[in-house]
Amino acid sequence: MTSELDIFVGNTTLIDEDVYRLWLDGYSVTDAVALRVRSGILEQTGATAAVLQSDTMDHYRTFHMLERLLHAPPKLLHQLIFQIPPSRQALLIERYYAFDEAFVREVLGKKLSKGTKKDLDDISTKTGITLKSCRRQFDNFKRVFKVVEEMRGSLVDNIQQHFLLSDRLARDYAAIVFFANNRFETGKKKLQYLSFGDFAFCAELMIQNWTLGAVDSQMDDMDMDLDKEFLQDLKELKVLVADKDLLDLHKSLVCTALRGKLGVFSEMEANFKNLSRGLVNVAAKLTHNKDVRDLFVDLVEKFVEPCRSDHWPLSDVRFFLNQYSASVHSLDGFRLECGGTIWAHCNLHLPGSSNSPASAFQVAGTTSVHHHAQQFFLYFQ
């Protein structure tokens, strides 16, 4: 006796959250059944393995049919085939678009192309996430990217509107899309210590301050692409390090302001020129696409690492950067040579000055060197 056909269709579509999770995680029916058996469901309900198998198959089939609709969540709301209560619909969508931290860290900043998709099995073995799940997540990124790529308006709003995601998830997707679009390198060993959350934080600030949308809110792609003009203007910062007088003046301004307030004052004083040079060079290079991609690598190399080697505490880094950008304003020569807009941008480039420090601290936790550097980096961004 073999079962040829076995289905269950409810007027209200039954959705088992546990099975949905297993399905999203890319387990095959057999694996899912095994996992469910292990969870002790048989003992709880007195069901047999065959019943569980049939139930799992049924749910998988339903999810498979729903998947098509989940690709365009508004469709799920308007379709007539599955009667699902709104709360369940939201859950389905949210879970479907949720992603694994480990996975997103692997593909962040990579081009969402077929080539990357081919590498998914490597990522799968590396992260221990099933290939199926990797594919789903990758396809989700790609789908969101394609849809919002050429859209006007705020990136987060667009994502929310077209994919009905929660605010938090929409922000994460905005970060992913932003990184993918600018192809920021995040995979280098040096950057491994940074979590997706860190990058997402950076992305949010960059979207707010560096993109076209930050300048003019009615443009295609506004939140995705960096403002070329702004990057061009950043070149002019070079004067901060090229002009010896200016550099000295800047240093003295910063040092005076920070004297006594910084635990690592002497190191700072000694290193000021190097640090300043590093920062300004990174900023000035951003006109080249390649350098844009390496932005994070460069920042870590040129700024974070020196600070880390000197054991700067996080608060000191913050003070320093605040003061660093603030004192530029009072540089006479600088003010003469550069226009007002540059100032604005310059500030934005060093948003530590324009953003409330609290936001950076929220993510900060311990005081180990490692974390200092991380927070410093965030702060800098």
90 vs 292, which CB is nearer to other proteins?
90
64 vs 311, which CB is nearer to other proteins?
64
Q: For the stretch 357-372, what's the b/e string if a residue is b when 16 or more beta carbons lie within 10 angstroms of its beta carbon?
A: beebeeebeeeebeeb
**Can residue 79 be called a binding residue for other proteins (CB under 8 A)?**
yes
Residue from 24, 27, 62, 379 touching other proteins (CB under 8 A): that is 62
83 vs 232, which CB is nearer to other proteins?
83
Residue from 35, 37, 77, 326 touching other proteins (CB under 8 A): that is 77
CB 206 within 8 A of CB 174: no
**Can residue 245 be called a binding residue for other proteins (CB under 8 A)?**
no
Residue from 30, 49, 50, 266 touching other proteins (CB under 8 A): that is 50
- Choices 77-85, 241-249, 250-258, 372-380; region in contact with other proteins by CB under 8 A: 77-85
**Can residue 75 be called a binding residue for other proteins (CB under 8 A)?**
yes
What DSSP string describes 96-160? Answer: HH---HHHHHHHTTS--SHHHHHTHHHHHHHH---HHHHHHHHHHHHHHHHHHTT--S-HHHHHH
Token reading at 351: 């948003």
7 vs 358, which CB is nearer to other proteins?
7
Burial of 161 (0-12, 13-18, 19+ CB in 10 A): middle
**Can residue 68 be called a binding residue for other proteins (CB under 8 A)?**
no
46 vs 340, which CB is nearer to other proteins?
46
**Can residue 147 be called a binding residue for other proteins (CB under 8 A)?**
no
Size of the site for other proteins (CB under 8 A): 39
Q: Is 128 left (phi over 0), alpha (psi -120 to 50) or beta?
A: left
Interface pattern 27-46 for other proteins (x via CB under 8 A): ------------------xx
Paired with 226 in beta bridges are 211
Residue from 38, 40, 43, 78 touching other proteins (CB under 8 A): that is 78
Residue from 38, 40, 43, 86 touching other proteins (CB under 8 A): that is 86
Cα 216 to the center of its chain, rounded Å = 23
The residues, ordered by sequence, that sit 6+ positions from 218 with a Cβ below 8 Å of its Cβ are 152
14 vs 219, which CB is nearer to other proteins?
14
63 vs 319, which CB is nearer to other proteins?
63
Cβ 86 to other proteins shortest distance, Å: 6
CB 269 within 8 A of CB 248: no
Rg (CA), the chain: 25
Q: At what angle do helices 244-258 and 265-285 cross, to 10 degrees?
A: 130
CB 227 within 8 A of CB 212: yes
Q: For the stretch 1-30, what's the b/e string if a residue is b when 16 or more beta carbons lie within 10 angstroms of its beta carbon?
A: eeeeeeeeeeeebebbeebbebbbbbbebe
- Choices 47-55, 90-98, 113-121, 153-161; region in contact with other proteins by CB under 8 A: 47-55
75 vs 259, which CB is nearer to other proteins?
75
Chain positions contacting other proteins, by CB under 8 A: 1-14, 45-48, 50-52, 54-55, 57-58, 61-62, 64-65, 75, 77-83, 85-86
